[in-house]
Structure 1
Amino acid sequence: MSIQEQLARLEQNNYEPVELLFVLPRDGYPIITRCRSCGRQVAHRMGDIGWGCPCVANPNSSAGKLPGATKKKNLLIDSSSPALVWWDVEANNPQDLNTVTLLANRVCAWVCPNCGHHFTASVRSITQCLECPECDARKREGRARERAIQKVTPITSVPELLEAWNDEADPNLIMVGDCRLRKLKCPEGHHPRVTPSLYLYSGCPSCRSARTRTEGNRPKLASELPEIAGQWHPSRNGKWTPENVGPDSKRLVWWQAKCCGHEWQEEVRQRNKRPRYLCPECHTILDSLAWLDPGMAAEWSPENPATAWQVRPTGATGFMPVWVCAVEPLHQWKASLASRYAGSDCPECRLVGKSKIELEHFEAAREQFGSARSGPKLMDSAFTQRSQWTVDILVEASGVKLAIEYDGSYWHSPEAKNLIDLAKSRDLMAAGYLVVRLRENGLPTLGIIDPRYLELQVYSVAPRPKSTMAEISQWVTSRAQKKSKRF
């Protein structure tokens, strides 16, 4: 491979050479490369460079996934697969049903509930295509007989086809089994070109597509992949929108990157495949830190070799990221993405213990509710922004899970902290907690409208922790009474 070809491939995949390039003696000869985003140096073969650096490859989408969820085997016995009805209890080992997964290649015994035929097949083949060999053979024989009849049956003998016939050919001379495309006209006015047999059994393809679109049960790009849908070109895709195109569509459409205005064409289904670039020109990635956690991204230092749009919240980097405190920009520190995602904050702003006002509210909560915890770390599979959150005051009594947050005006005034407060509140509510935020005077409301959320204004110069906790207790009690009346 020539030097020019090497440079072109390196440039295309966001790499630069570390050493002087030379004509490679063979395709598998490695060269030392450096990623322009994270600075990682690796010995790469030319064939491997196209996979991209792990820091920006972003192979897996986090859409619909929960960071705290544990990976579980997709067992056949725990599924709702109709293959369970076909399981041959007498012929199979009882242990197999408790251990086999839906896509296992293990060969097991099955019995057809329709004809009673016993046969063996892999679990994967049955769960993906539920067919009995005997029933399938009879169906094939039936279809063969039907095709033979169609080859000698003219169009005029089938009223449905004769009514839709719009072809120049004589319908008396054309058979139902004719394999050539013919012009037809459906009652809705569509003019499909299909084989007569296909129209007879499947109807008009345009009508089928319209029914599928109106049923509304197909996945939409707008709801499945909102980040990608946000890059849909506003004027170059005609009638097609993220609301009527699915995430697996093969349609070639126009995209526009908001970061630099770059426009390009790409199939919809390719956008969510490796390397999953948000913008191929800027090499920003999907599911980035800036998209998933803008509050944390606001503290990402511009000194880092990559932007917050080029790293993932839980991804690995070839450098130790630098962070700038949103409360006090003079505070800068280094911490890995993993530690920030686990809940760490600015080490200089982190006080030892609690403020006096917050401790007073904690004591009032313990007195009001009988028991309370100060500063526990919570983890739940419902959390989508962070793997864990630290709660100022937690009350768990009489079946109620109540999280009380005290938001001081100094620490919570920056916009980045408001974003974090908003994400934290939503995560806690999704995990089943009632959330109360005590916002000091001067802080803007978070604007959360939810029956599980209460926001109270407090004053640091005149705190009233006991009356505040009494008001919270009354709110919790009224919620419980309303809930009991509904049932």
Structure 2
Amino acid sequence: MEPFAKPTAWRLTRCLTCGCEAHYRFEYTVSKNAENEATCRACYWRQWAQDERRRHGAYADLTPVPVADAKERADRHGYDYLAALTNPSYRDDPHHVRCRYCGRLAAERMGDIAFGCRCQTNPGRARQTPNPPGQKQRALLKDSRLPVLAWWDHGANDLAQWESVTVVARREAAWRCPDCGLRFTARVHDMIHRAKCPTCEPNRHVEWEAEYERYQVTPVSEVRELLAAWADDEDPRTVTVAKLGPLRQFRCPRGHHPRISPYTYLRSGCPSCRSQETRAARLETEAAIPAPFRISPEIASQWHPSRNGRISLAKLSPKSRRTVWWQDPGCGHEWQDTPEQRDKGQRLRCPECRTILDSLAFHFPDLAAEWSPVNPLSAWHVRPSGQTAFVPTWVCTADPTHVWQAPLASRAVGSGCPECREHGKSQIELDHHAAAERAFGKASSGQAVRHDAFLRRSVWHVDITVELSGGRKLAVEYDGSYWHADKADVDEEKSRDLLAAEYLVARLREHPLPALSIDDPGYAEFTVHSTVPDPDCVIERVKRWASEH
């Protein structure tokens, strides 16, 4: 029902079997086709629910779901309730709902509605900004400190491989067994999960089988370690180490009395001691983290100051399922929830205001101060590394007349006000911008322009932008003879896109750059000379030309 955009885009569809309208990604449809499964979730869940009721027979729950209950749950989790997709509607039957935030139509079961729409998912990230351009966040094997590093064959693998291979790589690499010295090749991914030598592994298995066979006929009384810990009523001379039978009682040096098989105790020791060692290691790791920050600092800052009694925030784990009181210091709203649930799914900062954790406002308050009030969401509702359905508008704190659009990712990695920024702009361009401000009263420099009519790029950065009377806009481009000597094709594409967006386009081309092959009444070229620049005169000529068009 909607045109195809890209495989990952949501498209509105109508099921050819039941007529249910819903949004699906094209790649999802392809996946379901490969599995010979219906794409339509209304059809799929109806059949699934029928099969479940048939499987339970007389024990199936045939209590109808009241429409009021379905509506209440949908409303509570951000959906507009449209209709039940079965009549009567039983447990596990699908319902037709629409996300209140993104408008996506879906067929969801009651339990799935409680998870909310995917557009509201707010994944936790240790890194709140995108990776620098051209770089990819990678967990390098050489930095992992994994035991498998002792197996790496530096002689057979080149230095480039050592410097670039990651812990999730599935390519082949050369390894050297630290025990027998055998050289062999294996996938990195396989070696990380279980490092094994083609020679030693079979030998160890043979040795283990021989040992196990020997212990199947060896009484406990002949094994010193087992006999010293034996605390069972049975005579150790009549019980073999590895023969299947009832569990036996032992007493470890620390006083624990585990009931365990003799062979397991011999191989692994006391299970209570092992668990204590694991717990001690975990506590040692946690001790290095300041107590108030074991839970996320942002969540910890919302700990209710008076309603949690003797419960200590310092003793709560991030995975705790204990329900406690929270309060947002900004809006003052109070609610109850567990630390574990607070850091899952939508990860809301305030469930009533629907602000989110790890937002732009929390991590980058300076950027949040430049967030324009014309944006449909506040800086507390967007992540610095997230994507929005709109291009955010920003207002410069140094000069409120500077207003521009830029995506969240570019701001989070350091881009600032394009008009205040002088880096990347030549002095001659700055001089012409200053002349444009004198001539027109107001002019923008380096503004990012987006328009649906653009065919070559999604965004162009214009040297000088001026808003003319009548709502039209003027784009002035300065083309230096050195930097634009081999960019005629790019200059032409940029000009055509701006013309398609109904801009007047004036290009100031330094002598001896040739003219571009553009024939349009809204386009003009002005020859300038770098040796004798006269910005005020040139901009005045541009202004007269613009007034005639």
TM-score, structure 2 normalization: 0.46
State the distance in 2 between where 1:340 and 1:257 align.
31
- Cα 1:168–1:44 change in 2 (3 A) is same
Structure 1 residues 431-486: Cα deviation after superposition (integer angstroms, max 9, x where no partner): xxxxxxxxxxxxxxxxxxxxxxxxxxxxxxxxxxxxxxxxxxxxxxxxxxxxxxxx
The CA deviation at 1:298 is 6.9
Aligned match for 1:140, one of 176, 188, 205: 205
Q: How does 1:147-186 map to 2 (within 5 A)?
A: 147-177=212-242, 180-186=246-252
The CA deviation at 1:147 is 2.6
Which range is displaced more, 272-281 or 91-100? 91-100
Q: Which amino acid aligns with 1:138?
A: N
Aligned match for 2:285, one of 214, 218, 231: 218
State the distance in 2 between where 1:298 and 1:116 align.
62
Aligned match for 1:316, one of 380, 387, 412: 387
Are residues 1:106 and 2:106 paired?
no
For 2:28, the equivalent position in structure 1 comes to: none
The CA deviation at 1:126 is 1.4
Aligned match for 2:326, one of 248, 252, 257: 257
For 1:126, the equivalent position in structure 2 comes to: 191
State the distance in 2 between where 1:179 and 1:281 align.
59
Are residues 1:204 and 2:277 paired?
no
Q: Which amino acid aligns with 2:204?
A: K
- Cα 1:165–1:90 change in 2 (3 A) is closer
The CA deviation at 1:129 is 1.9
Aligned match for 2:359, one of 288, 292, 297: 288
- Cα 1:96–1:67 change in 2 (3 A) is closer
State the distance in 1 between where 2:308 and 2:237 align.
47
State the distance in 2 between where 1:195 and 1:210 align.
20
Structure 1 residues 226-277: Cα deviation after superposition (integer angstroms, max 9, x where no partner): 44566789999999976685x6x6x6444543334433457x5x76554444
Larger radius of gyration: 2
For 1:23, the equivalent position in structure 2 comes to: 85
For 1:40, the equivalent position in structure 2 comes to: 102
- Cα 1:104–1:323 change in 2 (3 A) is closer
Q: How does 1:67-466 map to 2 (within 5 A)?
A: 68=132, 70-74=135-139, 83=148, 86=151, 100-177=165-242, 180-215=246-281, 218=285, 222-223=293-294, 225-227=296-298, 252-259=321-328, 260-265=333-338, 268=340, 272=343, 274-278=345-349, 283-294=354-365, 308-318=379-389, 338=408, 341=412, 342=414
3-state secondary structure, aligned to 1:218: helix
For 1:479, the equivalent position in structure 2 comes to: none
The CA deviation at 1:28 is 12
For 2:456, the equivalent position in structure 1 comes to: none
Structure 1 residues 268-324: Cα deviation after superposition (integer angstroms, max 9, x where no partner): 5x7655444456676543322343235555787899765654321343334677889
State the distance in 2 between where 1:312 and 1:149 align.
62
The CA deviation at 1:206 is 3.3
Aligned match for 1:61, one of 112, 125, 133: 125
For 2:47, the equivalent position in structure 1 comes to: none
State the distance in 1 between where 2:256 and 2:310 align.
21
Structure 1 residues 73-97: Cα deviation after superposition (integer angstroms, max 9, x where no partner): 5555777666566456888799866
- Cα 1:146–1:274 change in 2 (3 A) is farther
The CA deviation at 1:122 is 1.9
3-state secondary structure, aligned to 1:133: coil
For 1:14, the equivalent position in structure 2 comes to: 78
3-state secondary structure, aligned to 1:41: coil
Query: How many percent of aligned residue pairs carry the same amino acid?
Result: 37
Is the contact made by 1:56 and 1:311 (CA closer than 8 Å) also made in structure 2? Answer: no
Is the contact made by 1:30 and 1:43 (CA closer than 8 Å) also made in structure 2? Answer: no
RMSD between aligned residues? 5.5
Structure 1 residues 403-440: Cα deviation after superposition (integer angstroms, max 9, x where no partner): xxxxxxxxxxxxxxxxxxxxxxxxxxxxxxxxxxxxxx
Q: Which has the higher contact order (CA 8 A, sep 6+)?
A: 1
Q: Which amino acid aligns with 2:285?
A: R
Any unmatched runs of 5+ in structure 2? 1-41, 43-64, 423-549
State the distance in 1 between where 2:248 and 2:128 align.
45
Is the contact made by 1:59 and 1:276 (CA closer than 8 Å) also made in structure 2? Answer: yes
Any unmatched runs of 5+ in structure 1? 354-487
- Cα 1:106–1:299 change in 2 (3 A) is closer
Is the contact made by 1:288 and 1:308 (CA closer than 8 Å) also made in structure 2? Answer: yes
